[in-house]
Amino acid sequence: MGYVNLSECLRELEATRRLVRLREPVDANIEAGVIQRRAYRKGGPAILFENVKGCTFPMVGNLFGTSERIRYIFRDTLRSLEALMSLKADPAALLKKPLRFSGVPLALLHTMPKTVSTGPIMARTTRLSELPQLRSWPMDGGAYVTLPQVYTEDPDAPGYARSNLGMYRVQLSGETFAPDREVGLHYQIHRGIGPHHAAAIRRGERLPVNVFVGGPPAMTLAAVMPLPEGMPEIFFAGVLGGRRVRMVRPEGGLPVLAEADFCIQGYIEPHAVKPEGPFGDHLGYYSLAHDFPVMTVTRVLHRENAVWPFTTVGRPPQEDTVFGEFIHDLTGALVPTVFSGVREVHAVDAAGVHPLLLAVGSERYVPYAAERQPQELLTSACALLGTTQTSLSKYVIIAAAEDSGLLSAHKIPHFLAHVLERIDLSRDLHFLTRTTMDTLDYSGISLNQGSKVIIAAAGAPRRELSSELPRDFALPEPFGEARVFSAGIVIVQGPPHGAGRDRHDPRLQSLAKALGETSGMEGLPLVVVCDDAAFTAADWDNFLWVTFTRSDPATDIYGGKSFTHCKHWGCAGPLVIDARLKTYHAPPLDPDPVVEARVDALAAPGGALHGVID
């Protein structure tokens, strides 16, 4: 059976040397986050911060920091859950291997939450200001809950069946919020709480909200699962946790997670918003202050000996990367059942997840054609952009499995080389402009608005990729050095960006024109312009992060010998992506050198965390 609560999990992790205690005083303001990120980077244990400055509650970080540890935490239920997922992907497997699915019926019995009269969470109350005031990065606008489980129910149909459990950013303090009375609730587009909030606004009612922190680890993971609308995450938590989730339902109020460590109770008035942010986010930049719903807090509950779990985010990979890998392992087999014709998808973590989606699909529409071209692939790409979390993708690059038996979206260098060998740049780029995009992505034309591009490739190779610049290669002023990063890909040092938002840069247009007139570029179909060529070319992680987080397809893609024909854009020369930081982008995350030095001392020989963090 899975863990009843967080304390039970922490005791087990400590007994198996997967958790260490830190008794040194630690500041929740920046310092705890630095330690957590370094522990993750080293592949270290979970860390229990017993002495948090100015706070009576201990904190635990890096709880889910390794794939081994997350699988250990859910070891009792993982086999049944994997069997359930594979059965969903292939129902006929039940007849072929019935013993493999023997645990599925019991797992399904755990889906419905169990209502109880009371629970440990009802033991005590506190105030927002007495909670750990975690700030992860120097420019963060206040303290944040970083592993919240935000629970709401549908105002039109209250109850578990249409509930939503999501991990939405919760700002505990800041200049705009009334102390101990208000918190910011930042939820992005395409999130399950949205329909509940919309229904409450339509009815002219407050939306009740409970924010759980801690409790059974299965609830934390359920809150980040990308489940379809109408499939309650709390049901999934029961299966993953190996027991029915125990909920206390006060008369006339939302149910409370009985085994939670903390619960922040409150409501959102129909049109109540206040500026929330800034916050150092998982794309590696700050999301800036914008109006988001404000939650009025009525009560803060906590259990005896409560522990505050936290994480921090930043440029990937971070601890949330482990969540993504775990979810992919669970659900990867379901992809063909959700998206017909799609065999594999990879939301690239190094590029911030939503900016870049790689996919392997089928191309079977016209199998008898003399020359194969993307057709079914385009249908599949549109499906990916039409539902679930893949709809937030900005660059969708899709290739046909039939062209290579070794093609995998998770082998990125090989995948991109495969695409660049085959793509027809005059035909195979398809833009969606003035559309919705990820709230955290500042490369577009406004908050939540930008563009997307589908890049599809099918058929035999069209070109042999080159690993060298042409002999007479030259760049127009004011562009600097150029280097081949990988076969077919050139990185160019560009001048600082100076154009306005939603505007092409004339200097990039001139560069694209010059490249289109340069002989010998046939084997170099992709050119990326950046602020720091050496940094961008240092490794694949840097290349992916810079290229896809700092560009908006419609604004920042140029082409040699480009043309527009009947509203279709293409080019005969190389594709040029402007991946410089723009004047309107949010700033990247930079560490606090004073705090970093304090943590260096903890990591040094003789320090309390020597050998635990780097």
Q: Are strands 273-276 and 290-302 parallel, antiparallel or unpaired?
A: antiparallel
Average pLDDT over residues 567-590: 96
Phi-psi region of 606 (alpha: psi -120 to 50; beta: other; left: phi over 0): left
Predicted TM-score (pTM) of the model is 0.92
Q: Which amino acid is at 548?
A: F
103-153 pLDDT tens trace: 566 667 888 999 999 999 999 999 999 999 999 999 999 999 999 999 999
Q: What is the CA radius of gyration of the chain?
A: 25
Q: Which domain holds residue 401?
A: 319-457
Does pLDDT of 173 surpass 50? Answer: yes
3-state secondary structure of 540: helix
**What are the beta bridge partners of residue 446?**
449
Count the Cβ atoms, other than its own, within 10 Å of residue 269: 15
Task: Give a yes or no: residue 553 inside a domain.
Answer: no
Task: Give a yes or no: residue 69 inside a domain.
Answer: yes
Task: Give a yes or no: residue 389 inside a domain.
Answer: yes
Does pLDDT of 341 surpass 80? Answer: yes
Same domain, 409 and 334: yes
Same domain, 378 and 303: no
| 500's tokens | 């306005």
Does pLDDT of 87 surpass 70? Answer: no
pLDDT given at position 105: 62
pLDDT given at position 225: 87
Confidence of residue 179 (pLDDT cuts 50, 70, 90): very high
Same domain, 384 and 442: yes
pLDDT given at position 227: 74
Among 457, 479, 508, which residue terminates a domain? 457
pLDDT given at position 91: 56
Query: Which residue is it, tokens 């911060």?
Result: 49
Same domain, 221 and 116: yes
pLDDT given at position 1: 64
Task: Give a yes or no: residue 576 inside a domain.
Answer: no
pLDDT given at position 86: 61
Confidence of residue 99 (pLDDT cuts 50, 70, 90): low
243-287 pLDDT tens trace: 999 999 988 789 999 999 999 999 999 999 999 999 999 999 999
Same domain, 301 and 327: no
Same domain, 341 and 261: no
Does pLDDT of 172 surpass 50? Answer: yes
pLDDT given at position 100: 55
3-state secondary structure of 169: strand
Do residues 554 and 501 touch, judged by C-beta distance below 8 A? no
Count the Cβ atoms, other than its own, within 10 Å of residue 480: 11
**What are the beta bridge partners of residue 568?**
565
Count the Cβ atoms, other than its own, within 10 Å of residue 71: 13
Average pLDDT over residues 366-380: 91
386-416 pLDDT tens trace: 987 888 999 999 999 999 888 999 999 999 9
Q: Which amino acid is at 601?
A: A
What share of the chain has pLDDT > 70, as a percent? 95
Does pLDDT of 434 surpass 50? Answer: yes
Query: Count H helices, E strands: the chain?
Result: 18, 31
Between 178-187, 305-314, 323-332, 524-533, the lowest mean confidence (pLDDT) is in 323-332
Between 65-79, 84-98, 462-476, the lowest mean confidence (pLDDT) is in 84-98
Task: Give a yes or no: residue 260 inside a domain.
Answer: yes
Same domain, 326 and 382: yes
Count the Cβ atoms, other than its own, within 10 Å of residue 514: 15
Confidence of residue 94 (pLDDT cuts 50, 70, 90): very low
- Our count of domains for the chain comes to 2
Among 428, 457, 486, which residue terminates a domain? 457
Confidence of residue 89 (pLDDT cuts 50, 70, 90): very low
Task: Give a yes or no: residue 539 inside a domain.
Answer: no
Same domain, 420 and 348: yes
Same domain, 286 and 410: no
Task: Give a yes or no: residue 584 inside a domain.
Answer: no
Burial class of 477 by CB neighbour count within 10 A (0 to 12, 13 to 18, 19+): exposed
Same domain, 324 and 450: yes
Q: Domain with 243 in it: what CATH number?
A: 2.30.110.10
Among 291, 310, 329, which residue terminates a domain? 310
Of the candidates 65, 61, 60, 136, the residue with the CA atom closest to the CA atom of residue 591: 136
Same domain, 304 and 363: no
Same domain, 200 and 64: yes
The chain-wide mean pLDDT, for the chain, equals 93
Does pLDDT of 476 surpass 60? Answer: yes
Task: Give a yes or no: residue 305 inside a domain.
Answer: yes
pLDDT given at position 164: 93
3-state secondary structure of 302: strand
Q: Domain with 415 in it: what CATH number?
A: 3.40.1670.10
